[in-house]
A and B are shown apart, each in its own frame.
Chain A
């Protein structure tokens, strides 16, 4: 049995006494000192007392969800390596945990060797993990990660710092960035680092909800207030009372509803559809868009007064292609875990894939990377991801970079002369759809709009064509 790298105590938070005994025996035999706790409260207190750098944490505790405990531990000491233990081995749970900052994810049952290996890996990671931001005077602070994000790149350091700063205030945050860069993750990180973390976090995608229903989704409605309102409905704003309301794709919001949102921001009151009396709510607003909000204001699609009300602290998330080696760091964090879940032995990326990943444009950003990795893990066996395992369309992106504006398909400016702006918009969208085999998400990505926008426009054109 290998000796531990250091003699730090390991904190084990597990509510089943037999399992506590088994894990402790295994770790003791390997030379580790273990402190055991059976509840979240005991575990949190022991963590504060012992300042342990490695925590083995069961996800289902009697007094609190393990995920919440982990987030508290990581806020208190971001360098902590939390090894999550669970009997729920779904890949979604694993990804959720890793994104939330878990170092590793052990699915019961696991043997003593697997347990010791996880602890040894954590010890090795701690050796290379950057020091806290409070570096000695005169020294530059080391690079750090803000869970649930992954990645130490320079552009993300600025994002982490801004999230930490803004979390302490009540200021409205406006998150921008391409699709798949993690705007909701950013909103959750602000919420989790804020004093409202124990309150609700409610996310609403304005682009995914039909315009007619959006007001009811945001502000709620009373029974009978419109056809189909068969019962009272609590809107997202009321559901987020005491916490944070995240409005994604805010630029998709109808201008009339923008007026109501502005009133809500000014008065902190909501009036559900059909109600006569407003209700006071205490909500922090974070909103996001993958468009340029200032441009939307210039085009008259977004209220200027609302823009200034929302655009208090902007946070721009860089695209994955601008994040240096983060792409490989994220892939490393996910690939072995996905492999375990799929019973395929994956240990990492080959050097050629690392190089390729750094060079790819990743138009779908982290979301695209996750999908690529899942595709690889499901269809192949490890131990290393090689270029041959990658989806062919991913390699095609590299082989054929996106054409510059004006070079696309057969369209030329001459074709557009004399047409209205609405007609030109339709021509451009239909051209993009045709080139992407009628794939709305792909066309939307190229045009840098949400897919729901394209769906709505197609629906409107179909109605107009019928009429």
Chain B
């Protein structure tokens, strides 16, 4: 089960979340922390998924900033980079230009959510 973060092993895409980072977070508590944290992370990423779709550039920037910090903490490196790019530019871009940056962010959030679903069902590391 080493590849439970691998979305498509055949294409050798890097994982959306670094398993080691997430396991280290889970290891700070018992099994209830794993369940609770997965559920909370899921809720937060879904909330931010909605937030970056908003019409207000400044609000999207704030959401991207929050997303950057959260993604970095759970080891979602690709999402961290995408969120950082959005954080830096959201406020100064028009809706169309912003959408071009937001779209890959949305896709990556979905990949992260899928990883979290796998992680939630995974037995704790020995």
Contacts from A to B (Cβ < 8 Å):
15-19, 21-22, 25-26, 28-29, 60, 86-88, 108-109, 111-112
Residue B69, interface by CB 8 Å: yes
Question: Please, what's the 1-or-0 string for B68-104, where 1 marks a CB less than 8 Å from any CB in chain A?
Answer: 1110111100000000000100000000000000000
Q: Which of B5-13, B28-36, B118-126 contacts A (4 or more CB under 8 A)?
A: B28-36
Please indicate the chain B residues that have their CB under 8 angstroms from the CB of A112 in the complex. Answer: 24, 28
> What separation, in Å, do the CA atoms of A111 and B75 have in the docked complex?
11
In the bound complex, what is the Cα–Cα distance between A335 and B84 (angstroms)?
A: 27
Q: Among A15, A17, A22, A108, which residue has its beta carbon within 8 angstroms of that of B25?
A: A22
Residue of A nearest to B83 (CB): A87
B29, A19: Cβ atoms closer than 8 Å = no
Whether the Cβ atoms of A25 and B28 lie closer than 8 Å is: yes
In the complex, which of the residues B37, B40, B65, B74 contacts A87, with contact meaning CB atoms closer than 8 Å? Answer: B65
- The smallest C-beta distance from B46 to any residue of chain A, in angstroms, reads 11
- Residues of A with C-beta under 8 A to B41: 18
Of all A-B residue pairs in the complex, the 5 with the closest CB atoms, nearest first, are A87-B69, A109-B72, A108-B69, A25-B28, A109-B73
Some 26 contacts from A to B, beta carbons below 8 A apart, are: A16-B44, A16-B69, A18-B37, A18-B41, A18-B43, A18-B44, A18-B70, A18-B73, A19-B70, A21-B37, A22-B28, A22-B37, A22-B73, A25-B25, A25-B29, A26-B28, A28-B29, A29-B29, A60-B62, A60-B66, A87-B65, A87-B68, A88-B65, A109-B69, A109-B72, A109-B75
Contact in complex: A17, B65 (CB < 8 Å): no
Q: Which among A17, A29, A88 is the interface contact of B28 at CB below 8 angstroms?
A: A29
Name which residue of chain B comes closest to A60, CB basis. B65
Interface band, chain B: 20 to 34
Partner of B40, one of A21, A88, A111: A21
In addition to A19-B69, A22-B73, A25-B33, 20 A-B residue pairs with Cβ atoms within 8 Å of each other are A15-B66, A16-B66, A16-B69, A17-B44, A18-B40, A18-B41, A19-B73, A21-B40, A22-B25, A25-B37, A60-B66, A87-B68, A87-B69, A87-B87, A108-B68, A108-B72, A108-B73, A109-B69, A109-B73, A112-B24
Q: How far is the CA of A357 from the CA of B110 in the complex (A)?
A: 54
**By DSSP majority rule, is chain B's interface helix, strand, loop, or mixed?**
helix
Chain A residue at minimal CB-CB distance from B40: A18
Which residues of B sit under 8 angstroms from A16, Cβ to Cβ? Answer: 44, 66, 69-70
Measured CB to CB, the residues of B under 8 A from A are: 24-25, 28-29, 33, 36-37, 40-41, 43-44, 62, 65-66, 68-70, 72-75, 87
The answer for the CA separation of A393 and B65 in the assembled complex, in Å, is: 41
Q: For A111, list chain B residues within 8 Å (CB).
A: 24
Shortest Cβ distance from B79 into chain A, in angstroms? Answer: 12
Assembly CA distance A219 to B99 (angstroms): 42
Q: How far is the CB of A128 from chain B (nearest CB, A)?
A: 30
Chain B residues near A108 (CB, 8 Å)? 68-69, 72-73
The residues of A that contact B69 with a CB separation of less than 8 Å are: 16, 19, 86-87, 108-109
CB distance from A12 to the nearest CB of B (A): 14
Bound Cα distance A15, B40 (Å)? 13
A19–B68 alpha-carbon span in the complex (Å): 12
Select from chain B the residue with minimum beta-carbon distance to A27.
B28
Kindly state the separation between the CA atoms of A17 and B44 in the bound complex, as whole angstroms. 7
Question: A28, A87, A111: which has the most chain B beta carbons within 10 Å?
Answer: A87
List B contacts of A21 (CB < 8 A). 33, 36-37, 40
A17 to B29, CA, bound (A): 16
Closest Cβ of chain A: how far from B44's Cβ, in Å? 5
For the complex, what is the distance from the CA of A4 to the CA of B95, rounded to whole Å? 50
User: Please, how many angstroms separate the alpha-carbon atoms of A112 and B65 in the complex?
Assistant: 21
**How far in angstroms is the closest Cβ of chain A from B65?**
6
Specify which chain A residues have a CB less than 8 angstroms from the CB of B70 in the assembled complex. 16, 18-19
A115 and B15 CA atoms in complex are apart in Å by 26
Given contacts A60-B65, A109-B72, contact A17 B40 (CB under 8 A): yes
**Residue of chain B at shortest CB distance from A62:** B62
- In Å, the complex CA distance between A88 and B44 comes to 20
In the complex, chain B residues whose CB is within 8 Å of the CB of A60: 62, 65-66
Determine the residue in chain B with the shortest Cβ distance to A85. B69
Task: Please report the C-alpha to C-alpha distance between residue A109 and residue B33 in the assembled complex, in whole angstroms.
Answer: 19
